[in-house]
Structure 1
Amino acid sequence: MDINVDGSSESSQQQKSHYILPSDSRETGRLNLQHRLIVKAFDGKLVSAPLTFKSGDRVLESGAGSGIWTLEFWKEYSQKNIHLDIECIDISRDQFPSQVPSSVHFSLRSILDVPLEWSDQFTFVHQRLLVAALPRPLWHKALHQIYRVLKPGGWLELVESHAKIRKFAVGPNSKNLALISDRMFESKDFVGDTEVYLPPVMREMGFVDVHCEGRDVPISNSRSVVDDDGLDRVQIWYDLWKGFKGSVLAGGGYGIVSSEEEYESLLLGCKDEWNNSTEAYTSYWTIIARKPE
């Protein structure tokens, strides 16, 4: 395993200061389950960009977390006898896997400040779920860095959740949670509609072939809380908001809750509403774009 622990750059600390979810084993488990939901939503595909990989291609995963996407991606292409060199970066090493293939390298880095020697090196850059990590100005900086490290003709794929239209607000508790979410995003200048905001920015930077595709994913369904894939969708969504607890309380509860106990009670009320609703959804989007030849 190759892990670079030099992550003390100003940009790394800047990005880390904005990230509002924990980086612990509980969150790792939730992210891994969420990964399964996202892949299933996009027809079982790990990559939506129209790419044909060949051995020796370099791939960068930004916000790699536990590495679950990379490890499945590496395995898929290794079984085709296509051997890729994959760099995985994140602002925390707490979720990095303990064992990885020799051609997969993890490093403690921010997408805001990747090495100069990576310029024009990568055939593909994959980044997922930084909607609650990058305020509006930092998205511009991150996209500039990604454009720089892509090879001419290389592709970027962003996978983000929609966080502006709150399709999970199906009762009084979840409507209050939506208010908390809106106020928290506004206070931190997060972009709730990345699929609307980012494509024009990407085109201005020089990206071409920019394309967005969305999927609605039910939080629960009429048959059972546990879907036929074995995933307890309500629990995954509940655990996400439990992870936001520290940020919500640091924001004074955003005028909705005033204590940890009130927030916990609100989440339990939301859980009941989601368990008994067929209308609660979340949305995921892929945004793909190419660096011109």
Structure 2
Amino acid sequence: MGHAISTCMEFTFDHSSSASTLPDQEEPPKSVFTNSDSIEEIMYLHHVVLKHYWGQNYVSPVVLSSDNETKPKQVLDLGCVTGLWTVEMASISPTTNFVGVNPFSIFPKSAPSNVSFYQQNILNGLQFDDNSFDFIHERLSLSDFTKKQWEDTVLHEIVRVCKPGGWIELLESDACICDKGKVLRRIGRSCKKLFLSKGLVPNLGQFLQTLLRSNPQLTDVHYIENDMPLGKRHGKFGELAVRDLMLSWNAIKIPLSQIMGIAPEHFEAILEAFINEVNVQDLYWRTYRVIARKKTLDEMNERL
């Protein structure tokens, strides 16, 4: 496409099952992003683009490392995939213990000593005790869970393993990343139809905000939006964000082409049109964070 950008991959990954794995584990959840050859680059781009435009790796009011504390913080990176966030955070917070969980074994071959990776499927229940983690981080699971799974299992498990007074932070985007640009609108609306056909939640931001607010164990729920500009007019990271989106769409081009009513080989032309559009129009990728605090035992008792 004449749009190649070097991303300087910083990690190599282990595709074997060497990470801790549960016996007799059920098949991992089905994602619309199935077996993409570009998964490692996509995850890398997610990480660097989101960190740049948000300016930080998390926004919750959590102090992860302190030399004055006798007991280290415990952090869960849920759906860590290739573990980039987990490893980076562990490197800068050496007195905090980090646990990365993912249903697929594509973890880094090496990591700091304060990191552990486990191959687990949250839909089977997380294999951790109640009240285990001070901070739970999750990002970009838009294509991973249906509405019913979020309501019946995923949030329940997240809240269960979070310590009283601990924080939960979900970083997500919607299927329609913005409602501007003729081509971008077409892709976004097609993604929305595809997600709905799979029982997924295309407008995950509003859904998660409502879901967290309705949970009686959670308080201090905040919703924060961040519109990340796209295209070469916004420098290297504007271009990297475009590449991230194109690789992600290309990973679902077969079902997306069916929704659009075009042959998969014609999807390349759609991406070319998007490149032309994004470099002349003011387009953006809307992301958001939903954060919440689990109530302390005293706060829970006040309700009784």
Question: What's the TM-score, normalizing by structure 1?
Answer: 0.85
CA 101–7 in structure 1, closer or farther in 2 if over 3 Å, else same: farther
Kindly report structure 1 stretches of 4+ aligned residues shifted beyond 6 Å. Answer: none
CA distance in 2 between counterparts of 1:166 and 1:8 reads 41
- Match in the other structure for 2:166: 154
CA 231–7 in structure 1, closer or farther in 2 if over 3 Å, else same: farther
CA distance in 2 between counterparts of 1:178 and 1:24 reads 20
1:114 Cα deviation from its structure 2 partner: 3.6
Q: Which amino acid aligns with 2:86?
A: T
- Match in the other structure for 2:273: 269
- Match in the other structure for 2:43: 31
CA distance in 1 between counterparts of 2:63 and 2:292 reads 15
Q: 1:133 aligns with which of 119, 137, 144?
A: 144
1:32 Cα deviation from its structure 2 partner: 0.9
1:182 Cα deviation from its structure 2 partner: 1.9
1:177-202 Cα offsets, whole Å, 9 max, x none, are 22321211221222222221122222
Paired residues, what number?
273
Matched residue of 1:158: which SS?
strand
- Match in the other structure for 2:300: none
- Match in the other structure for 2:212: 202
CA 278–7 in structure 1, closer or farther in 2 if over 3 Å, else same: farther
Runs of 5+ consecutive residues of structure 1 not aligned to the other structure: none
CA distance in 2 between counterparts of 1:170 and 1:231 reads 17
- Match in the other structure for 1:278: 281
CA distance in 2 between counterparts of 1:77 and 1:37 reads 21
1:174 Cα deviation from its structure 2 partner: 3.3
Structure-to-structure mapping, 1:118-267, within 5 angstroms: 118-140=129-151, 141-164=153-176, 166-167=178-179, 169-171=180-182, 173-205=183-215, 206-222=217-233, 227-229=235-237, 231-248=239-256, 253-254=258-259, 256-267=260-271
Contact 1:59 1:125 in 2 (8 A): yes
Question: What's the TM-score, normalizing by structure 2?
Answer: 0.82
1:268 Cα deviation from its structure 2 partner: 2.4
Matched residue of 1:101: which SS?
coil
Contact 1:7 1:108 in 2 (8 A): no
Contact 2:77 2:138 in 1 (8 A): yes
Matched residue of 1:266: which SS?
helix
1:92-146 Cα offsets, whole Å, 9 max, x none, are 11x3111112321111112223445421110011000001111111112100000
CA 175–52 in structure 1, closer or farther in 2 if over 3 Å, else same: closer
Contact 2:132 2:162 in 1 (8 A): yes
Q: Which amino acid aligns with 1:61?
A: D
1:270 Cα deviation from its structure 2 partner: 2.0
CA distance in 1 between counterparts of 2:110 and 2:127 reads 27
RMSD of aligned residue pairs (Cα, Å) = 2.3
CA 7–245 in structure 1, closer or farther in 2 if over 3 Å, else same: farther
CA distance in 1 between counterparts of 2:262 and 2:100 reads 39
1:25 Cα deviation from its structure 2 partner: 5.5
CA distance in 2 between counterparts of 1:7 and 1:257 reads 42
CA distance in 2 between counterparts of 1:131 and 1:230 reads 22
Runs of 5+ consecutive residues of structure 2 not aligned to the other structure: 1-13, 66-70, 297-304
